[in-house]
Structure 1
Amino acid sequence: MDALGSLLDAGGRALGVSTDLEVSGPPTLRSAYPVSALATASVGVAGAAVADLVAALGGSRPDVVVHRPLADAWFAGPTTGVDAALPSPWDPLSAPYRTADGWVRLHTNAPHHRAAALRALGASADPAAVAAAVRSRTADDVEAAVVAAGGAAASLRTAAAWARHPQGAAVAAEPLVAIEPGGTSTASSRWDARPDAPLAGLRVLDLTRVLAGPTATQLLAALGADVLRVDPPGWDEPATLPSVMWGKRTARLDARSPEGAATVRALLATADVLVHGYRGGALDHLGLGADERAAVRPGLVDVSLRAYGFTGPWAGRRGFDSLVQFSSGIADTGMETAGADHPVSLPVQALDVATGYLAGAAALAGLARRVRTGTGSSWRLSLARTAAELERARAQPPEAVAEGTVPVEHPHVRATAYGRLAVADPPLSVGGVALRTGDLGAPLGRDDAVWR
């Protein structure tokens, strides 16, 4: 079995869907890891889940085709600026830094994470000052200090060290996708599936941020769902929104206020799917723990995403793709393979996007289960568990990436609040199902917090 077959098999078994599909085109992403296989497999598993849902709804199971270069392109970013380049998603301080005994990476894209890191390091907001502040400290010391201050950081570990780490061991013991059955669906739904839009009328409450969760809900929006993303006042991520907000609506409210909490509860009461990517315990603090969610909306398909898994000492830790790559050994393996003198991460945010497609597939599998059994379900995925699957696939024969690969075209030009943007073709074909990009649902907060 090659890496692609290994990853397809793992995803299909985790979700209980057949991964009988066609793959066209060559891999284009060069890496120490089979990252192109991960892109193709996660997109393919999502397509298989669409086909399974179509069959559950009474149709014939359609053929699934994944175009590898387009899957790679969507992992790299499906959108480009026509009149000007899109802004970088990285804050100047989000970078690897050499420490007294190795390397540490900071994630400072969010203002409060940036402030926490600077506070923990006692440094000014200048890359040279941050580098000087960490140079005499150990990587683990910097990681612990920043995390304790409310920031996000990860020291560079080898894959072997991560396997021995309590959190690495805990994640390795978790399933790629954890599934728990829910109660009987008794709430009404406006879901009105069509052959070309199997999720037409379906309501998806999106409580996610960069990047895995928004990837999942964008897939559901492309299939016709009414996706409503809810963000708190002041939150923004303008550099990533052009890649993950097509076809969605977006509202702002403060869920910590009584009025905001009541609105979220009311939205959930008539939602079909909830996708949430907040840290562990965050919804509990809002009065919407797992039991409460199931009671508010019987038959809910509940999809939860985390960075470092759901068990172990780091289950509630803040994390992002770039940090999980440092923690899990991916960036260290990249450095060793390349013979480099600095950490080498994957060429794209593959853990985020792959986990996002798998989460979207989980929502679809949950809906198929609800059609067949009349019951809801809960699904749990994490970036760290996806990283473990990628590490396992690395043992398979490597991908042959051709030299001089021709870049994928972005033929669909749209006028948006960010200027004219060009969007690539979808990487997936599922019979007569249409994958719509729709309108760019940004900037955040432009819509009311109500269902259509």
Structure 2
Amino acid sequence: MRDDTAPTFLSSTVSAPAAYFLREIWQAVGGDPAHLSHLTIEGAGALPSTFHVTDLAGAAVAAASLSVAELASLRQGKFPAVQVDRRLASFWFLTTLRPQGWSMPPLWDAVAGDYRAADGWIRLHTNAPHHRDAALAVLRTHAEREAVAAAVKQWQAAALETAIVAKNGCAATMRTLAQWADHPQGRAVNAEPLLHRSSTAGGDRPHLPLSAGRPLQGIRVLDLTRILAGPVATRFLAGFGAEVLRIDPPGWEEPGTVPEVVLGKRCARLDLKNPDGLRTLEQLLARADIFVHGYRPDALARLGLDSTRRRQLNPGLVDVCLDAYGWSGPWSGRRGYDSLIQMSTGIADAGMRAAGQDRPTPLPGQAIDHATGYLLAAAAVRGLVERLQTGRGCEIRGSLARTARLLVSGGNQPDDTEAPAPEQPSDWSDLVEQTGWGPARRIRPPVAIADIPMMWDLPAPKLGSSAAAWLADKA
């Protein structure tokens, strides 16, 4: 049960739900509670939801920013103040990009969405062609929404979910909070820590570059993540100077999300099934400081890059891994996305009931993804802090399902909660970003750290637009 008592070390501007979330996140990343005294979260309003989504947004952004401030304090000798704007944090949990003269592609494939089955609701996630093919093969129909809806009605929701997952597709039955709590996977996830963290033998303390104004400048981040939590984490790291190199396979595209999440990064392609591609990845990994990956747990092992091999290549590595449904239980390793997690864990059902609707009512935006992204970013930077202090590397594992549990454990939001003030052009950055798709503006960063600007050195590029090499190796 949630403890609503705000810790005395938090600023009085932090709401009780945000204080709870922040305490849980900061403890999960191994942070010193005393550092919370340097933080304020300001602003009014909350995104419409039965859950405290805006409080989670503010707390997650705050924890990641506090970790950057802690890293900076190692160079500065003092801990800089951190200020988070909860309204802007809410916007960053939705979308930051404001195209100028062009439009973002649709976020969802034409087949993706919620469907009424014979006994309830199920969500099909079909954005990736192979996931769409799996669902259509089970339903024995073509990629037309009305035909899919008619086919789904012939199935029991849980049976259809099982059949699609068995075909390596992605689907989720809508369950209630109580049903998820009683489900074997729900019980397993709820018994897990918010993050799994362990130290690994590293050696001598490294001499990592520490810039007073850009604390992550010179830090190399190898990014093997896709939609959406991992890219949010690495986008945050790039905002404080990290060199982020994202690797995608040949032909992979995410037209509805890539312009949003590749800000500040370079993007390359490697075929990891090719020995040369795998060799290049190993060379990159050996010189990385942080490795963020969202492959299914056995995928890297099948490539010969399991945890032991990664540690051989780079003993001091901060190794950050993400999955969907948790690291234990019968669904560990199961494919999943934010929208599916919300269906499985009871969030979409609770939203439907609270709003008096007759269909699944999810959170505003992909809030579980975003929160998990900032949680992983906080853990990664704290891993750097501990590496500087001890020389040891670390392994960090998070999951969308466990972050969903954190949100639900924060309780329900009052029905009469004031909405944030509407977005205004003054909320946009003054800079015009020349993305790979055309000019755009961004929502201003949601955090201010004393004398440490959050800014990105590179505009959002198209996937595969850079070489698979660290910048110093190209010089």
State the TM bucket, normalised to the shorter chain.
over 0.9
Q: 1:184 to 1:429 in 2, by over 3 A?
A: same
Q: Whole-Å Cα distance in 2 between the matches of residues 5 and 432 of structure 1?
A: 25
Higher mean displacement: 347-356 or 428-437: 428-437
| Deviation of the 1:248 alpha carbon | 0.5
Describe how 1:335-346 pairs up with structure 2 within 5 A.
335-346=352-363
Deviation at 1:193, TM superposition (A): 1.6
Question: Alpha-carbon deviation of 1:58?
Answer: 4.9
- TM-score between both structures, scaled by the size of structure 2: 0.92
> Quick check: 1:187–1:270 contact (8 Å CA) kept in 2?
no
Query: What are the within-5 Å matches in structure 2 for residues 45-444 of structure 1?
Result: 45-185=63-203, 191-394=208-411, 398=414, 401-403=417-419, 405-408=421-424, 409-411=427-429, 412-444=431-463
Measure, in 1, the Cα distance between the counterparts of 2:390 and 2:82: 25
Q: Which residue of 1 aligns with 2:13?
A: none
**Residues 404 and 325 of structure 1: CA distance in aligned 2, closer, same or farther (over 3 Å):** closer
CA distance in 2, matches of 1:436, 1:404: 24
Query: Using a 3 Å threshold, how does the CA distance of structure 1 residues 194 and 157 change in structure 2: closer, same or farther?
Result: same
What is the Cα deviation at residue 56 of structure 1? 3.2
Native 8 Å contact 2:325 2:336 kept in 1: yes
Q: In the alignment, is the contact (CA less than 8 A) between 1:186 and 1:298 conserved in 2?
A: no
SS at match of 2:84: strand
Aligned-pair identity (%): 46
Query: Is the Cα–Cα contact under 8 Å of residues 34 and 398 in structure 1 kept in the other structure?
Result: no
Please give the secondary structure, in 2, of the residue aligned with 1:76.
Answer: coil
Alignment deviations for residues 223-243 of structure 1 (CA, whole Å, 9 cap, x no partner): 111110000001110221121
How far apart are residue 3 of structure 1 and its match? 1.5
Aligned to 2:27: 13
Which region of structure 1 is more displaced relative to structure 2, 46-55 or 103-112? 46-55
Aligned to 2:18: 4
Which residue identity lines up with residue 424 of structure 1 in the other structure? I
Counterpart amino acid of residue 273 in structure 2: R
Gaps of 5+ in 1: none
Distance in 1 (CA, whole Å) between partners of 2:215 and 2:342 is 35
The alpha-carbon deviation at position 400 of structure 1 amounts to 6.0
Task: State the distance in 1 between where 2:420 and 2:448 align.
Answer: 26
Query: 1:28–1:407: structure 2 CA closer, same or farther, 3 Å change rule?
Result: farther
What residue in structure 2 maps to residue 44 of structure 1?
62
> Normalized against structure 1, the TM-score is what?
0.97
C-alpha displacement at 1:399, in angstroms?
8.2
User: Would the alpha carbon gap of residues 325 and 138 (structure 1) be closer, same or farther in structure 2, given more than 3 Å must change?
Assistant: same
Provide structure 2 residue ranges, at least 5 long, that are not aligned to the other structure.
Answer: 5-15
Q: What is the aligned-residue RMSD (CA, Å)?
A: 1.5
Structure 1 residues 382-391 or 440-449, which shifts more?
A: 440-449
Shift of 1:432: 1.2
Give the Cα–Cα distance (whole angstroms) in 2 for the partners of residues 257 and 413 of structure 1.
39
Q: Quick check: 2:85–2:446 contact (8 Å CA) kept in 1?
A: yes
Equivalent residues of 1:80, 1:86 under 8 A apart:
no
Letter in 1 for 2:417: V
What one-letter code is carried by the residue in structure 1 that aligns with 2:274? S
Contact 1:22 / 1:64 at 8 angstroms: preserved in 2? yes
Size of the aligned set, in residue pairs, is 450
Deviation at 1:430? Answer: 1.4
Alignment partner of 1:31: what SS?
coil
Structure 1 residue 26: deviation in Å? 1.0
- For residues 386 and 254 of structure 2, the distance between their equivalents in structure 1, rounded to whole angstroms, comes to 34
The superposition leaves residues 367-400 of structure 1 with CA deviations (integer Å, 9 ceiling, x where unpaired) of 00001111100111111000001010015x6486
C-alpha separation between the residues in 1 aligned to 2:205 and 2:101? 47
Give the secondary structure class of the aligned counterpart of 1:184: coil
